[in-house]
């Protein structure tokens, strides 16, 4: 079996597919109220395992998903970042998403990882458009989208009926 493709490493970060062995790190990340403050609620350990399984299915079906992001030099877990198909107002689009450990936020890791995933979407996946769906009050995430070249496009309602902002660009 061939290894799933992942974005090229950056100066500080590396990417790899999620596995069940990542459950402790993913449960801590997705269960952290600070990391998940713009979601309806933090995820339980069982929901974190579902998250891993969802991404493994995306790797099989699409060749991408959210990948585990680690420090290149130490292998330390940073968070997740990657590409997922997301439905917004009845249209499925390719989204770049990212979560960084609360204690590592503010150091540019989300921007660095998201830029690598944007390049992967363009150069490997062949995507023509990329979006980020972000809650209106999540200014740090909006700044990441803007820094990687996704300007504000519109406001919309998420599938759960919550207001969101859509940042998007042609690739």
Give CB contacts under 8 A, 24+ apart, made by 55-63. Answer: 55/17, 55/18, 55/80, 55/82, 56/17, 56/18, 56/19, 58/84, 58/85, 59/4, 59/17, 63/4, 63/5, 63/125
Tokens of 9: 């490493």
To 5 degrees, how large is the angle CA 133–CA 155–CA 92? 50
CB of 82 closer than 8 Å to CB of 96? yes
pLDDT of res. 1: 41
What tens-digit pLDDT sequence spans the chain (171 residues)? 455 699 999 999 999 999 999 999 999 999 999 999 999 899 999 999 999 999 999 999 999 999 999 999 999 999 999 999 999 999 999 999 999 999 999 999 999 999 999 999 999 999 999 999 999 999 999 999 999 999 999 999 988 888 999 999 999
H-only helix segments in 63-167: 109-120, 139-147
> What whole-number distance in Å separates Cα of residue 82 and Cα of residue 45?
21
pLDDT of res. 3: 58
Instruction: Identify the architecture of domain 13-170 in CATH.
Output: 3-Layer(aba) Sandwich (3.40)
Residues recorded for the chain: 171
Map residue 156 onto helix, strand or coil: strand
How many CB atoms within 10 Å of residue 50?
Answer: 13
Instruction: Give residue limits of the domains in the chain.
Output: 13-170
């Amino acid at each position: 079996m061939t290894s799933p493709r992942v974005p090229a490493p950056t100066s500080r970060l590396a990417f790899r597919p999620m596995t069940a062995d990542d459950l402790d790190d993913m449960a801590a990340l997705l269960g952290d109220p600070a990391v998940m403050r713009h979601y309806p609620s933090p995820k339980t350990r069982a929901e974190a395992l579902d998250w891993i399984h969802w991404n493994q299915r995306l790797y099989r079906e699409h060749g991408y998903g959210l990948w585990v992001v680690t420090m290149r030099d130490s292998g330390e877990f940073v968070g997740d970042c990657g590409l997922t198909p997301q439905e917004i107002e009845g249209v499925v689009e390719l989204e770049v998403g990212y979560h960084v450990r609360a204690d590592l936020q503010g150091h540019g890791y989300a921007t660095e990882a998201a830029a690598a995933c944007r390049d992967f979407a363009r150069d490997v996946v062949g995507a023509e458009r990329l979006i980020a769906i972000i809650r209106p009050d999540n200014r740090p995430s909006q700044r990441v989208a803007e820094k990687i070249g996704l300007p504000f496009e519109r406001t919309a309602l998420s599938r759960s009926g919550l207001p969101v902002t859509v940042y998007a660009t042609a690739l």
